[in-house]
Each structure stands twice: as structure tokens, then as C-alpha cells.
Amino acid sequence: MQHAYQQCINPDCNATFGTDEVHVSCPTCSAKGVSSLLDIRYDWSKLPVPKSLAHFESRWATKGRGDTGKLDFSGIWRFRDLLPFYNNESDIVTVGEGRTLLQSADLLAKQIGVDAGNLFLQYEGLNPSGSFKDNGMTAAFTHAKMVGASRVACASTGNTSASLALFAAHAEMVGIVFIGSGKIAYGKLSQALDYGARTLQIQGDFDACLHRVKQIATENKELGIYLMNSVNPFRLEGQKSIMFRVLESLNWEIPDWIVVPGGNLGNCSAFGKAFMELKELGLIDRIPRLAVIQAAGANPLHVLYNEKGIRWNDGRPDHATINAFYKQMDDDNYHAQTVASAIEIGRPVNLIKSLRALDVMDGVVRQVDDPTILEYRAMVARYGFGCEPASAASVAGAHMLRKEGLISASDKVVCILTGHELKDPDATVKYHTGIDMKAVQESAPRSEPKGCIANKPIPVADDLDAIIAAIGAPAQVG
């Protein structure tokens, strides 16, 4: 067996596949009509595992110079020994991602009743494309390069598309992004267009976009499209590094709580896997608790976990109840709706992996409503460095848990700020002035763009043939 492989997370299957294969779900389970996610696994006995986490500190000194300088500079690949799925270091696609900051936030701590010195904000908005997505994208693009992909695609509420577009431009691949009509914050849309991705504005929401892009990547293989959403297990390998950097900033001390907003549930799933592996490798002796915070208007994990009692159950969660919940959602024609557009997701693809993370990290799930999210976003801006609305759900959730007494004043709490404040300035302007910039923009007069490399979004019906036509045929080789 190879040192790294893909494995089905369903314990009744456990099928394995090489890292040279491309799957977005387990083919063995799919053949039986079951949908199951894959994990990246390692045979650590064949790999040089560092004896302590402090090992990684030696890489700070290279300053991006020398043979491995570019990798050491990246906040993901500095930890490459903990995500060694690549064959050669030359496979790695990096744009200098992951150089983010853990800020001690005493002013905010005072607001939410945590002792000074105990509240930390992990600023993933400091990534090159302005969100945590770059952590995963660098890993997934590395895999895409390993398998010779030339066209990559994702569905997105905005940040994934911005990140994909940036990496596609650098890796000289064709980037194709599916976004829901009228759903995306302008800062994110502007990035996808500016970095040159083919931007399809599908008449539907994020869930519809994800359904279509999965269909395109898996059932229409002749189109040669590599899927970059977080069903791609390589993405989550990169996102583990957010936790490595948190520990690094805390001088390898384990905090008591990690608090993170939950949408498609990839990030929290990656965090659970990071701690599971660090413990397995003997690199830590304790695992922090996890709090996943959802928007009340996009709260499937909250309902399933807190109201229906769904648990990981050693890899055998109650699928019948989960499926009945989704069927009811369809019957009611329910669509997620929240001001935190980044997490406006009704059917999170990583639901099952998130249950594992909650199990590993003794986790809890909470929901916060839109006015609360907006209030805490403003509070983070006033007392921290700012973030976009979805990110502030973490701070709102931390305060809620503090008031419940689950988090105590002396606990060390890390809130993950997933996206930069400037991603969604409209939300900020509306909060402070009452002006709805989106409505202003939508009613503004339009003219044809004149720029030499203008890249207009393409409006497309939620229809497979129309989408395939809008994507265009793969380029002929030779």
C-alpha cells in the first residue's frame, strides 16, 4: 500500500483508493446506491513523522529562500509532514497562503465575559484571496496537478469561487465557478471575475449549484472537470493546517474551545481530523472542545444534532432520520436564507464528517439569528480587525456558550474568523447607514463593459444542457 491513500469513511465499507484517482464520493458505496465521503489516510509507519510539534519552528527561518523556502513560507506546507499526500514537493501549488494571525482580543473578551488573555481570534481573512478557503485550495490544486487536471470547478457562496479563481490563474488551469443568482457578496464576485474564472450565475441557490457541479464533474466525465468543493477530501487536508497554526501561535498549548461558523461543514470536519491525527501521532495529549455555530436561517446541523439527536455513532449515524429530514425540506420547498450569505446552505455536504468532528472534539452546535450575527460582526470590527458576517457567528456563538456557562471565564477560547471584512462591505454599510447597496447596484443603469479583458458573468438556467453549453468543450490538446 502507498504511504497515502483515500478511504471510505463508512465503517461497513472502508474501501481504499489510490491518490492517483479522482473521486468525490466512495465508488464502492455509490455502486450500492449509498453516498459516502472519502478521507485521506496515511501509513504513518512509512513516513518521517516529527517527534514534537516544535519541529516545525525551524522552518520559520528560511524566509521563503532556498530549496524548500516557498513551502516553508506557506502556513499550510510548513506542516507538510502532516499532510503528505503528494508524490513530490514539485507537485505543490502554492501562492503563499496561510500566513495568518492569531490575535489576543482582550477588548472583545471583556464584551463577552471571558478573562483577559483568554480570547483569541484566528484571522483567516488574511489569506491571499481573503478567506480560509486558500488553506484547502492549495491542497486540492496540488492534487489536481498530480492527476493532470486542466479544468477545475466549484459551486460557491462566494469565497470558494474567489479562492479557486486565484489558484486556477496561478496554476494555469481553467477555473469555472457556479454561483447562485443574487446570492453572492460583491467583493467575492469581483474576485472571481478579476482572476479570470468563467463565472456561471445559475438561477438557483447554493444547493442547486452544488448539485449541478457535482453532476458535471461525475456524470459528464468527458467534460474533464475536476471538482474543488469540500467533498474533495484533499481540500480538507489543507484546512487541517488552521489548527496547526492556532497551536503554533499558542506555543503548542491546547486551548479549551475552538469556535467556528458552520455552512458546508468542511472546516469543522477538517479540524476534527487534525486533532484526531495529532493525538494518534502522540503529538498532543489533549483535544480542545469544538463549537459549530450556524445561522438560524441555515441550520440543518443544529436541527439534526440538537433536535433529532443525530450522532456519529462510530460511523453509523441514523441515515434514515437524516434522509427524512432532507425529504421534508424538499417537500416544504425550504431554502436556507440568512444575511450571512457565506453560510446560506441547506444541505451541507460534509454533514457526516462534521458528526465525527463533534464526536472527536466533544463538540456542541448552536444557532444564532441574523440580527445577532450583524451585531457581533460590528463588535468584532470595533474591538478586533473586522470580519465578514458569517465569521462573526463564531463570536456570537462563543458569547452564547459563555452565557450558558458551558464556556467559563477562565477557558482559553479561539474563534475562527473565516473571511475578511472587505468581502462584504455592503453588509457593513447597511448596518451603519441603513442604505441597501445591493438594491442600489441592482437598479443602477448598465452598459456593456469596455475593458480589454472584461470577464462578464454568464446567466444560466438551472438546467444541465444549458450549463454544459455555457461551460464549453474542453480545449483540444495537440
The footprint of ligand F0G (CB under 6 A) covers 131, 133, 156-160, 230, 261-267, 342-343, 388, 390-391, 418-419
**Least distance (Å) from ligand F0G to the CB of residue 210?**
9
Q: How far apart are CA 466 and CA 454, in angstroms?
A: 22
For the CB of residue 279, give the shortest distance to ligand F0G in the complex, in Å.
22
Specify the amino acid at residue 434.
Answer: G
DSSP 19-34: TTS--SS-HHHHHTT-
| Residue 55: all three cell numbers together | 519541529
Taking the complex as a whole, the smallest distance from the CB of residue 177 to ligand F0G amounts, in Å, to 9
CB of 448 to ligand F0G, least distance (A): 29
Instruction: Give the integer Cα–Cα distance in Å for 362 and 42.
Output: 24
- Cell numbers 496561478 correspond to 170
Q: What is the C-alpha separation between 139 and 237, in angstroms, rounded?
A: 7
Q: Are 119 and 415 in contact (CB under 8 A)?
A: yes
Identify which of residues 128 and 261 has a Cβ nearer to ligand F0G in the complex: 261
Quote the CA–CA distance of 220 and 223 in Å, as a whole number.
6
If we measure between CA atoms, which residue out of 311, 233, 202, 248 comes closest to residue 8?
A: 233
Q: How many other CB atoms are there within 10 angstroms of residue 208's CB atom?
A: 18
Question: Looking at beta carbons only, is 72 or 421 nearer to ligand F0G?
Answer: 421
Q: How far is the CB of 465 from ligand F0G (least distance, A)?
A: 25
Residue closer to ligand F0G, measured from CB, 340 or 467: 340
Q: How far is the CB of 54 from ligand F0G (least distance, A)?
A: 29
Write down the least CB distance from residue 291 to ligand F0G, Å.
13
> Is the Cβ of residue 118 or residue 201 nearer to ligand F0G in the bound state?
201
177 closest CA partner among 166, 162, 161, 163: 161
Q: How far is the CB of 205 from ligand F0G (least distance, A)?
A: 12
Beta bridge partners of 191: none
318 to 162, 214, 310: CA distances (angstroms):
35, 24, 6
Cβ closest to ligand F0G, residue 6 vs residue 391: 391
Between 118 and 299, CB nearer to ligand F0G: 299
Q: Which residue lies nearer to ligand F0G by CB, 159 or 299? A: 159
Max intra-chain CA distance, the chain: 65
Residue 199 C-beta: closest distance to ligand F0G, Å: 13
Q: How far is CA 220 from CA 113, 253, 381, in A?
A: 53, 47, 45
Question: In whole angstroms, how close is the CB of 364 to ligand F0G at the nearest point?
Answer: 16
> Smaller CB distance to ligand F0G: residue 236 or 470?
236
Residue number with CB closer to ligand F0G (53 or 185): 185
DSSP summary character for residue 278: H
Query: Are β-strands 198-202 and 174-180 bridged in parallel, bridged antiparallel, or unpaired?
Result: parallel
Nearest-approach distance from CB 224 to ligand F0G, in angstroms: 22
Considering only CA atoms, which of 286, 26, 345 is closest in space to residue 159? Answer: 345
Residue closer to ligand F0G (CB basis): 146 or 293: 293
Unique residue bearing C-alpha cell 516545525: 56
- Quick one: 182 exposed, middle or buried, by C-beta within 10 A (0-12, 13-18, 19+)? exposed
Nearer to ligand F0G, 72 or 344 (CB): 344
- Please tell me the chain's helix, strand, coil percentages from 3-state DSSP, rounded to the nearest 5: 45, 15, 40
